């Protein structure tokens, strides 16, 4: 068995609230006592050692869209970038996440092909058609702990209420990616100056906040545990804070890119910045940062969406939204630390123990997690050769970033 000794490394352990320079020994992904059976020694001077991360929202594209990514390619990209547990929404093509019998096989394939623990969010309605509740009891038996209708609309609000009551009775979490379809319609970018100048159809912030407000009333009526994924507006943070202050069983996350990038990037019809929910205004970015800092926003996710190059070649509004994010996740996190929003340990909490707690898998994550060696000072250029994901679709392409995973230690 391989035993790795890492000397003088800064250990960031959110479970034991440890932030100290130590010499550690790792065997099979676990810290062990000092031993003479060392097979490799690493100089950890200036490096960070943290637990493997939990990602609450990533699309891996398999099954059905292997031209963009596979469980093998995206699993490898996640694992080598320090992410061992990955939650995926139920909107693959074809949709298989409304069938509990198929989900366990998907989880097994993700571990076999990509070396990650895939956590499948089940479909809230049959085929995501928004008309009839999915067989949530079967989904729970198949290994799902949460359901969602992803970005698909509901036929009417009565369907939403019935699915929330069903999920509440089973003790399952409902995940909302809140957007009011009648307001968002055919929009593709934030409603702001850049969109107006370029003549692009918009998704105003109120499309998100109206949906959140409506769903919060339903959550209060049914008592279901709910999670709001991919918040993008400052006003959404206010609504979640009010709900939490009232004691509603709600949690939320934000995509890492929303804490760094704004709608200014779509200038010149830059389709690599086309993502949904869209990149918002600078003021939204700052309020989202404050929301994470204060704890109103529980966790940070990647919102990883790999796409082939052809998916970004049409006119902006016709391109497929999505940003590949596994490879730049740690660099963006290090930037938050460097800018003073978090201490290193605080950032680690937001991408490890916090999302594990949100997902009600803290005990299992603690047992399964490995360790990640990070160089927070390493400068590297984001390019198509060093992005491990099959998708190279990022607005950071050819930019220099600081901070990178050197090695993931996991069973």
* Alpha carbons 95 and 90: distance in angstroms, whole number: 7
What local confidence, expressed as pLDDT, does residue 44 receive?
98
Kindly tell me if the per-residue pLDDT of 384 is higher than 90.
yes
Q: Which of 1, 76, 14 is CA-nearest to residue 48?
A: 14
**pLDDT of the residue at 62:** 96
Note the pLDDT tens digit of each residue in 117-152: 999 999 999 999 999 999 999 999 999 999 999 999
Instruction: Give me the mean pLDDT over the 307-323 stretch.
Output: 97
Domain locations along the chain: 50-362
Which of 267, 307, 246 shows the shortest CA–CA distance to 68? Answer: 307
pLDDT reading at 1 higher than 80: no
CATH of domain 50-362: 3.20.20.140
Tell me how crowded residue 308 is: count the other CB atoms within 10 A of its CB.
18
The 10s digit of each residue's pLDDT in 82-118 is 999 999 999 999 999 999 999 999 999 999 999 999 9
- Averaged pLDDT, 397-411: 97
Residue 54 pairs in a beta bridge with 85
- pLDDT tens for 188-226 read 999 999 999 999 999 999 999 999 999 999 999 999 999
pTM of the model: 0.97
């Amino acid at each position: 068995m391989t035993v790795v000794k890492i000397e003088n490394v800064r250990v960031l352990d959110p479970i034991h609230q440890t932030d100290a320079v130590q010499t550690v020994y790792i065997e099979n992904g676990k810290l062990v006592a000092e031993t003479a059976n060392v097979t490799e020694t690493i100089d950890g001077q200036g490096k960070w050692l943290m637990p493997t991360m939990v990602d609450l929202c990533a699309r891996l594209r398999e099954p059905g869209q292997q031209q963009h990514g596979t469980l093998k390619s995206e699993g490898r990209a996640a694992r080598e970038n320090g992410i061992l547990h990955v939650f995926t929404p139920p909107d693959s093509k074809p949709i298989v996440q409304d069938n509990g019998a198929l989900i366990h096989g998907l989880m097994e394939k993700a571990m076999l092909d990509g070396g990650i623990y895939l956590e499948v969010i089940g479909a809230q309605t049959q085929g995501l058609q928004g008309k009839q509740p999915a067989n949530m009891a079967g989904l729970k038996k198949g290994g799902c702990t949460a359901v969602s209708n992803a970005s698909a609309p509901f036929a009417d609000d009565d369907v939403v209420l019935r699915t929330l009551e069903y999920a509440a009775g089973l003790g399952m979490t409902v995940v909302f990616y809140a957007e009011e379809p009648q307001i968002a319609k055919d929009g593709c970018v934030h409603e702001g100056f850049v969109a107006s100048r370029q003549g692009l159809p918009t998704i105003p912030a109120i499309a998100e906040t109206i949906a959140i407000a409506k769903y919060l009333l339903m959550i209060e009526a049914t008592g279901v545990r709910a999670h709001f994924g991919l918040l993008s507006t400052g006003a959404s943070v206010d609504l979640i804070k009010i709900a939490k202050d009232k004691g509603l069983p709600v949690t939320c996350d934000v995509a890492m890119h929303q804490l760094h990038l704004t709608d200014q990037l779509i200038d010149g019809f830059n389709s690599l910045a086309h993502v949904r929910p869209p990149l918002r205004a600078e003021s939204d970015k700052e309020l989202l940062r404050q929301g994470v800092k204060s704890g109103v926003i529980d966790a940070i996710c990647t919102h990883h969406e790999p796409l082939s190059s052809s998916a970004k070649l049409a006119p902006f509004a016709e391109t497929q939204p999505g940003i590949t994010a596994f490879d730049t996740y740690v660099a963006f996190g290090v930037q938050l630390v460097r800018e003073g929003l978090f201490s290193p340990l605080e950032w680690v909490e937001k991408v490890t123990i916090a999302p594990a707690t949100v997902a009600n898998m803290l005990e299992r994550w603690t047992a399964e997690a490995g360790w990640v060696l990070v160089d927070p000072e390493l400068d590297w250029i984001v390019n198509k050769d060093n992005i491990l994901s099959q998708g190279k679709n990022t607005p950071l392409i050819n930019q220099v970033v600081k901070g990178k995973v050197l090695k993931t230690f996991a069973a």
